[in-house]
Amino acid sequence: MFLRSDEEIAEDVRRNVVECLFVAPSQPLRVEVHDGVVTLAGRVRDATLVPVMARLVRSVEGVVDVDCALMGPLTHPGRDPDQPGTAGTRLL
């Protein structure tokens, strides 16, 4: 028996985790909950925060599991010389 509804859990995750870690996301993040399992989807600017977010979501009361499908920012291979395989690297 679940003590909190899926919508209550989703709202808690949105307000207390997503809004705190991603103050002004470039795109909205999708938070869905079904039987206590939270699904996170979307694209974030700082991919290093994804594991932190997953751990924080797991700590929300009523969360049974987390399915994290968050992705980092789109890269532009021809524009970023620091990215592997881009115009800034030399192939031998």
Which CATH number does the domain housing residue 58 bear? 3.30.1340.30
If pLDDT is split at 50, 70 and 90, which confidence band does 87 have? very low
Task: Assess whether pLDDT exceeds 70 at residue 41.
Answer: yes
Mean pLDDT for all residues in the chain = 81
Q: Please indicate, yes or no, if residue 31 is contained in any of the structural domains.
A: yes
Contact 61, 36 (CB under 8 A): no
Reply yes or no on whether the pLDDT at 91 is more than 50: no
The domain containing residue 46 runs over which residues? 6-71
* Euclidean distance between CA atoms 35 and 70, whole angstroms: 20
Q: Is position 56 within any domain? A: yes
| Cβ–Cβ < 8 Å for 31, 40 | yes
Which residue shows structure tokens 């992705």? 71
Nearest to 45 by CA among 29, 58, 63: 29
Q: Is the pLDDT of residue 83 over 90?
A: no
The answer to whether residue 1 is domain-embedded is no
Instruction: Quote the DSSP letter at residue 17.
Output: I
Question: How many domains does the structure of the chain reveal?
Answer: 1
Taking the whole predicted model, whether its pTM rises above 0.85 is answered as: no
